[in-house]
A and B are shown apart, each in its own frame.
Chain A
């Protein structure tokens, strides 16, 4: 099993609510990523981080925000959830240039 943990695994919330998806890894990886996986299963990079206090937006524009205060922790926050945010969110991490990503189990978000 990969040592990267995502919580919650499943979440159903109403429009306008603030939510935070948690992601933690115990492998000491410096690089961490958030991918959004749409119902058609395509993956889109929405945020990444090369280390503490480093965050960058990915290729897909997202209304979410991230922070990287500790190496092992990379939470994603939606200030005001909308139905268009309904998706699966995958967290991943790696070390070095080879970019062999280790993925978490995912957080499946449904916004009503």
Chain B
């Protein structure tokens, strides 16, 4: 089975600070994609960032960046300069090809 593990059910960070969300996955595949999705309270799930496994360079999208360690099967998300609007459930997801497998999510609360 190809699993995704998010070991932090809840996290809290103050506005303007930096926070890192952890994710590990298990697969025997060599080519795959990894994603972080965000689900704000009562709102739609949206893509935060994507990483192709064959690319060594870590993906970045504005204040969001990842630390992809392929050998360790680790894919953490760093949010810099946290904003109140970043409060949401964050899901790490792994794509072996036919669909996405999601972790259980990390609930992030950004406080003033």
On whether A101 and B44 interact (CB within 8 A), knowing A41-B89, A41-B105, A43-B91, the answer reads no
B residues neighboring A (CB under 8 Å): 33, 35, 37, 39, 43-47, 50, 89, 91, 95, 97-102, 104-105, 107
A-B contact count (CB 8 A): 48
Cα distance A2–B47 in the bound complex, in angstroms: 11
**In angstroms, how far is the closest chain A Cβ from the Cβ of B64?**
15
Among B44, B95, B101, max chain A CB count under 10 A is at B44
What residues of A have a CB within 8 angstroms of the CB of B44 in the complex? 2, 103-106
**Which chain A residues have a beta carbon within 8 Å of chain B's beta carbons?**
2, 33, 35, 40-43, 45, 48, 58-59, 90, 92, 97-101, 103-106
Give bound CA distance, A103 to B89, whole Å.
Answer: 15
Closest chain B residue, CB of each to CB of A56: B98
CA distance A2 to B39 in the complex (A): 14
Is A40 a contact of B104 with CB atoms below 8 Å?
yes
Which chain A positions have C-beta within 8 A of B33? 98-99
- Nearest 3 Cβ contacts at the A-B interface: A103-B45, A43-B102, A99-B95
Question: B31: shortest Cβ distance to chain A, in Å?
Answer: 9
